[in-house]
Amino acid sequence: MYNFDFERPKSVADAVKALQTEEAQPLGGGQTLIPTLKQRLAMPSKLVSLAGIDEIKGVCKDDQNRLCIGGGTVHRVIAEKAMSEGFPGLTGLASKIGDPAVRNRGTIGGSLANNDPSACYPAAAMATGATIVTDRREIAADDYFKGLFETALEEGEIITEVKMPIPEASAYMKFEQPASRFPLVGVFVARFSDRVGVGVTGASESGVFRWTEAERALGSDFSADAVKGLSVPADGMISDLHGTAEYRAHLVGVMTRRAVAAAQ
């Protein structure tokens, strides 16, 4: 690992200031960034740790029935709080990321900023129509994810909060890649009074996406049978040693049906 300076500000304002240095980078829980630094795939001049900023930690519900999750909140806390706030589908997602030690450090802000094509939260953000709040603006999930590891975030922009509309029913199903336990394909299904959202991660070469055809079918009949005849084309799906594009396309259908069944 190359060396770098280390700062631990106590407020978002101080963190934004610290990030103005050339090649400075925020550090969330480090569960992705530290392995990346060890491989010398990143070479920041300075890391600005967000772990000391209390104002971006914690989970609450706002008056529009959205779960407001601080960008620096760790997976373990999200799993606990989503349950008590009536969003068990998100608990199911957060409580299966990595292992307990990873969940004690890794944050939702880090996961969304990284936008790994196999990360779990992006599927929930897309399915629920979440809003990503940063130190300078609010971004709709549909406009936020820009492909593999690419997002709408600017240099030095910090995710301070994620606002997720709480669905009436929801579930996340991931087909785990057994070595990394990241999803080979993961599907988040969210049913609201007026619409259904289906977010798919791990599958597409252009990153997380909404399966709109399934959303329409589920909107009129929220049952596993309603999506039985539907499939996504293998064209544009990821193909690697863990699974072919055809296999992933098939899994999208299977995981969607399982998620709908689990959300009943």
Partner 1 sequence: MASVTMNVNGKPVTGEIEGRTLLVEFLRNGLSLTGTHVGCDTSQCGACLVHVDGEAVKACTMFAAEAEGAEVTTIEGVSNPDGSLNTIQQAFQDYHGLQCGFCTPGMVMSAAALLKDNPSPSEQEIREYLQGNICRCTGYHNIVKAIMAASGQDVSRIAAE
Ligand X SMILES: Cc1cc2nc3c(=O)[nH]c(=O)nc-3n(C[C@H](O)[C@H](O)[C@H](O)COP(=O)(O)OP(=O)(O)OC[C@H]3O[C@@H](n4cnc5c(N)ncnc54)[C@H](O)[C@@H]3O)c2cc1C
User: CA distances (Å), 172 to each of 45, 135, 235, 236, in order?
Assistant: 38, 29, 24, 23
Q: Choose between 37 and 133: whose C-beta lies nearer to partner 1.
A: 37
The stretch near ligand X (CB under 6 A) out of 61-69, 105-113, 124-132, 214-222 is 105-113
Check if the beta carbon of residue 24 is closer than 8 Å to that of residue 129: no
The item of ligand X, partner 1, none sharing an interface with residue 113, based on CB under 5 to 8 Å by kind, is ligand X
- Could you write out the DSSP letters of every residue in 8-65? --SSHHHHHHHTTSTTEEEESS-TTHHHHHHTTS---SEEEE-TT-GGG--EEE-TTS
* Per-residue buried b or exposed e for 92-102, using 16+ beta carbons within 10 Å of the residue's own CB: bbbbbbbeeeb
Residue 92 near ligand X by CB under 6 A: no
Residue 107 near ligand X by CB under 6 A: yes
Q: Choose between 102 and 152: whose C-beta lies nearer to partner 1.
A: 102
Options 30, 52, 58, 219; binder of ligand X; rule CB under 6 A = 30
The SS3 of residue 200 is strand
Distance CA 256, CA 186 (A): 8
The SS3 of residue 3 is coil
Residue 29 CB, nearest distance to partner 1 (Å)?
8
Comparing CA positions, the residue from 55, 69, 46 lying closest to residue 12 is 55
Residue 85 CB, nearest distance to ligand X (Å)?
20
Residue 32 CB, nearest distance to ligand X (Å)?
3
Options 127, 158, 162, 214; binder of ligand X; rule CB under 6 A = 158
Residue 87 CB, nearest distance to ligand X (Å)?
17
Q: Residues in the site for partner 1, rule: CB under 8 A? A: 1-6, 8, 27, 30-31, 34-35, 37-38, 46-47, 49, 51, 76, 98-102, 104-105, 181
Q: Provide the strand spans (E) within the chain.
A: 5-7, 24-27, 46-49, 59-61, 66-70, 131-134, 138-140, 159-165, 169-176, 183-191, 196-201, 209-210
The stretch near ligand X (CB under 6 A) out of 20-28, 61-69, 162-170, 233-241 is 20-28
The SS3 of residue 237 is strand
Q: Look at strands 131-134 and 183-191 and give their pairing.
A: unpaired
Residue 202 near ligand X by CB under 6 A: no
Options 4, 8, 17, 32; binder of ligand X; rule CB under 6 A = 32
Options 19, 77, 94, 97; binder of ligand X; rule CB under 6 A = 97
The item of ligand X, partner 1, none sharing an interface with residue 101, based on CB under 5 to 8 Å by kind, is partner 1
- Summarize as ranges the residues that interact with ligand X (CB under 6 A): 25-33, 50, 71-72, 97-98, 102, 106-107, 109-111, 113-114, 119-120, 158-159, 181-182
